Structure 1
């Protein structure tokens, strides 16, 4: 049999395994190993390429640090206090607690940079309260899943780090370019949330109290400080994204330990929304002790241990696709579309379809090196295209059949995956609208760049 026949058989085989629920990492790895044998590439060469991905990848060191940051701010109580503040600001609007969940996702994303961490943290905290407040449990879980999409757009962002590493773009510029699009995504989802809640009459209203807003804002000041610290340091060039991640981890460790001491010795109380009629002051023990830090680090390392091999094997997959001529084939097809907008919309369609079946990391690693140069040739600014590409990849988090955030939300809320699709589709429409706005208006990504 010819090489093309063997590769077709291997591709069909891994597709069957994917449909049977085999993890994406193993699917890509099996395909890479199978194609390596067909192309007479030794396993020694494949192993060397896997190691070379991280050999000079200083920028990628920020990834595990920001993952650790997400776990630290959750454990320290910062995430809960940010949620309290968002609810105090929005609880007077119909669907206020659901909108507060989306706002909390945006605030959490501005520290953690992870979609799954955002969905899991906010979903586990606010889904029970939303159900108690009269919201449909499917809508509540879908809200957490959709809110997590901004986790990789609002800086700092793990996927922006990977994209900048691959395409040799300043990661600090990519971070800044994600601020406006990420904010627009949150606002668009809030509008969709308000419409759905108004139609169904979900949620109790609370009075807008400036005292409550100020008090919860003061309670969340450490979260705002962490957000400002990251953005200020990167925007002013005081430290690189990798250094920013290290500084944020150190800050969160100090805050977590001090919060634990304060809540144990002084009885710190936190405003947690039991329902939307009242705020119940509950005694909580925030933070963590020195002994708990290793367990938090191990949890973060487990997530890193999933993502890092996925990055490495996806890079090798992209190299094999280049040997097979896929880059030239895709490039010829996209270039044949003609001018600026046909090329741009064709690239967006490819990203959307890929996001339906793959996680954002392999989508980025495989398609970005192919599509970005083509987009640049027709006049699309590289930083602008990076935002277009990654907003599209983030939408894949709530797009079936893959929809990683839907699986995460289902896991933390107990709502079956397929029951989330009805309401996640409403958020999907709002995110698609923002995606096209970002694509058609470059200023949404480039206005804040120095």
Structure 2
């Protein structure tokens, strides 16, 4: 109780979540009256980041930096426009499709929203779309980032759950594609109701030229995902090869990337990686304290009085995680919930940890698009000037189909496990 009170107190005054987790551990040790636990404290932190799979995080972030600096994102958008063609609501489809392509390279929701908002929202405004809708749609497109591989959140979950990083990345493919299809269905319906403008007409020659110009940029996700699916590389190795592919495409095809800019890109990737890895180290301490204090066992006893079978447990978990995700960012949300809920899911209800991980990540990402915080909406608002509250209201149908996907995943685990060998 004292530990929980200390954790909430320091979090509410604005202390970063990583420090909150560390301080909560210290308070628990002091309250337990067992100072010998301090000897294990640094060992638990080191053990949390002593994982080969975590090397994939800075590499995935570096891929995003190179992609942005190499003009690859703009070509991906052009490719999506050439593929969609002249249909009603065409730019809305392009927004989601381009986000899907970018998600297969970037893997971060907030970074993706910041990048795509700068590109898509002004273009949609020119074509007659409401700015609030355009910004909100881009924020929901960013939701694909942590689901379609590569994904920093899946890597962190893999370490917390002690499962294969490659398996987790593969598990996100089918749900990511399904979510894209559901978003397309919403756009089709809204386009009919609100009479969205048609996309700019292009001749067959123009489309072919655009596709040929952008096609080499797809080598990056093909290398990353293909090497994992084909069993040629694990997640970390595929991330390294993907970074090389991004640099080569940016340097020799788009010709907008310079190797002289690589040090500053690596520095930015290193700073962001350090933040994520500190959270992971703090999570190791937090998990250790939870297990030592028998929190998972007590939580499991309570949940079993409410959820009688795996499906009811998953539906209850959806509600819990969605509420948590509305106020806490993705990676900290993983850190706080996985050590408690995962043992219950696997040991009590026999749920596959990879399937459970997909549901957890999608819930927490959806929380980034829900009040009162809605971090992705605030990112889109900072870039475009639209109001976050209005964004949530005009994009409610996308929230609805995201919840439908979560229910489907809860009922049918094979949707996330189908591609795993």
Equivalent position to 2:6, from 10, 24, 37: 10
- The 5 A counterparts of 1:313-328 are 313-328=282-297
**1:306-329 deviations in Å (ceiling 9; x for gaps):** 222122223322222333332112
1:114·1:151 contact (CA, 8 Å) conserved in 2? yes
Q: Which residue number in structure 2 is paired with residue 403 of structure 1?
A: 374
Q: Which residue number in structure 2 is paired with residue 222 of structure 1?
A: 216
Q: Which residue number in structure 1 is paired with residue 178 of structure 2?
A: 184
Count of aligned positions: 417
Q: 2: CA distance between counterparts of 1:83 and 1:314?
A: 37
Q: Which residue number in structure 2 is paired with residue 24 of structure 1?
A: 17
Q: 2: CA distance between counterparts of 1:413 and 1:29?
A: 36
1:78·1:222 contact (CA, 8 Å) conserved in 2? no
Q: Which residue number in structure 1 is paired with residue 417 of structure 2?
A: 446
**1:148-206 deviations in Å (ceiling 9; x for gaps):** 11111111221111222222222222222211100111121222233334333333433
Q: 2: CA distance between counterparts of 1:213 and 1:448?
A: 32
* Alpha-carbon offset, residue 33 of structure 1: 4.0
User: Is 1:131 matched with 2:125?
Assistant: yes
Q: Which runs of 5+ in 2 are unaligned?
A: none
1:139·1:423 contact (CA, 8 Å) conserved in 2? yes
* Alpha-carbon offset, residue 43 of structure 1: 5.8
Secondary structure of the equivalent of 1:398? coil
Q: 2: CA distance between counterparts of 1:77 and 1:315?
A: 38
Secondary structure of the equivalent of 1:80? helix
Q: Which runs of 5+ in 1 are unaligned?
A: 262-286
Q: 2: CA distance between counterparts of 1:43 and 1:147?
A: 44
1:155·1:175 contact (CA, 8 Å) conserved in 2? yes
Q: 2: CA distance between counterparts of 1:289 and 1:205?
A: 34
Give TM-score, length-normalised by structure 1. 0.86
1:174·1:387 contact (CA, 8 Å) conserved in 2? yes
| Structure 1 residues 39 and 123: alpha-carbon distance in aligned structure 2, compared to 1, 3 A threshold | farther
**1:207-249 deviations in Å (ceiling 9; x for gaps):** 3644333222212212221111112211122111001111111
Q: Which residue number in structure 2 is paired with residue 364 of structure 1?
A: 334
1:335·1:374 contact (CA, 8 Å) conserved in 2? no
- The 5 A counterparts of 1:84-123 are 84-123=78-117
* Alpha-carbon offset, residue 407 of structure 1: 2.4
User: Is 1:412 matched with 2:408?
Assistant: no
Q: 1: CA distance between counterparts of 2:107 and 2:68?
A: 13
2:381·2:387 contact (CA, 8 Å) conserved in 1? yes
User: Is 1:66 matched with 2:60?
Assistant: yes
Equivalent position to 1:50, from 41, 45, 50: 45
Q: Which residue number in structure 2 is paired with residue 312 of structure 1?
A: 281
Aligned-residue CA RMSD (Å)? 2.2
